Amino acid sequence: MKKVLGLGNALTDILLQVSEADLREMGLPKGSMNLITMEQVEHIQHHFVSTRHHLVAGGSASNTIAAITQLGGKAAFIGKIGNDEVGEFYREDLKKNGVVPLLLTSKEKMSGCSIVLITPDGERTFATYLGASADMTAADIQKEAFTGYDIFHIEGYMVQDNELIEKAMRLAKESGCMVSLDLASYNVVNENHYFLKQLIRQYVDIVFANEDESFAYTHLNPMEAVAKLANECDIAVVKVGKRGSYVQQGTNMYHIGAITTECTDSTGAGDLYAGGFLHALSDGFDIRKCGEIGTIAAGRVVEIIGTKLSDESWEEIRRICALYRGFMQKYPTNL
């Protein structure tokens, strides 16, 4: 089984259930990702002081990597935390989930957090204080970190530092890794369109996007968008919510139907889809089976608040992977 290395913002998620009126009052576009200051963090927390909240270790790439290890894969995560209790909580959570923590420590900034505002329809809006994670620079990324890994996964949010994300991808390719990129958010794509195109065409093997992100990148409908992306990299994935996802490699395109579920909170759905997909890919499955495993993981996480599935849910997905693996070994030509 191939080993996966992730790099992203080390953020602790603060999950809040809110109304759309709350979002308007905060001036936050529904479904967007917004970078905020520490003062804005305090303002939002004060506004929702009486609202029940959940605290979990998060960050897009970190969620994906944790999903891989929960499914039995081997993975590590590079991020930057503060020298504080939140940072220590983050480190211990990675370890608890079986992830090798390759964490740097900022001497100046507090650990970052992401306030996840969840509306009644399950849509999430992010207000993110990067904190220590924004202190990571290209100088922190060394080629030795990629030794022994086969797939490198990075979140699109890291595009905030062009030099860092390009160096990480370049070193990963030089080390023989496949490079996987999650486009992260439609506004990230809109603000960095030309640079992302350069990265994808030069370094990226696998792209994950949702419907809004793929439209921001291609200005096409999902089926056309996945084909266009597949012309620019090896494997393209476009997720379309309740309608499932489109997966394409070369001229082979599949539509993977979503599983029937009640959406309570869509936080982490894309991250866990990527985790299921990359785990299956690392285990030698074809892209259709990878999409199916990703779909199951995403379907289970939207049923709960936050991104931490129960042991029972992970065991269910591991059993499905084992069934697929056994079938693949018995009937290799059918896959």
Long-range Cβ contact pairs of 141-147 (< 8 A, separation 24 or more): 141/7, 141/78, 141/167, 141/168, 141/171, 142/171, 143/171, 143/174, 143/175, 145/5, 145/78, 145/102, 145/171, 146/5, 146/171, 146/172, 146/175, 146/177, 147/175
Residue with tokens 């779909």: 295
Q: What percent of the chain has pLDDT over 90?
A: 65
**Whole-number Å distance between alpha carbons of 47 and 265:** 21
pLDDT in tens, 264-279: 656 678 999 999 999 9
The two tokens of residue 324 are 């697929």
**Whole-number Å distance between alpha carbons of 295 and 292:** 5
Average pLDDT, integer, range 99-116: 92
Q: Single out the residue of 125, 171, 111, 122 nearest to residue 147, CA to CA.
A: 171
- Give the domain ranges of the chain: 3-10+59-111+131-334
Strand order in the sheet with 11-17: 33-35, 124-129, 112-118, 11-17, 53-58
The pLDDT value given to residue 335: 43
Parallel, antiparallel or unpaired: strands 3-7 and 151-155 = parallel
**C-alpha distances in Å from residue 217, one per residue of 140, 272, 327:** 29, 22, 37
Average pLDDT, integer, range 73-85: 95
Q: Print the SS3 string covering 80-109.
A: EEECCHHHHHHHHHHHHCCCEEEEEEECCC
> Looking at per-residue confidence, does 71 or 48 come out higher?
71
The pLDDT value given to residue 100: 97
Parallel, antiparallel or unpaired: strands 3-7 and 245-249 = unpaired
> Looking at per-residue confidence, does 57 or 257 come out higher?
257
CATH number for the domain whose boundaries are 3-10+59-111+131-334: 3.40.1190.20
Confidence band for 332, pLDDT divided at 50, 70 and 90:
low
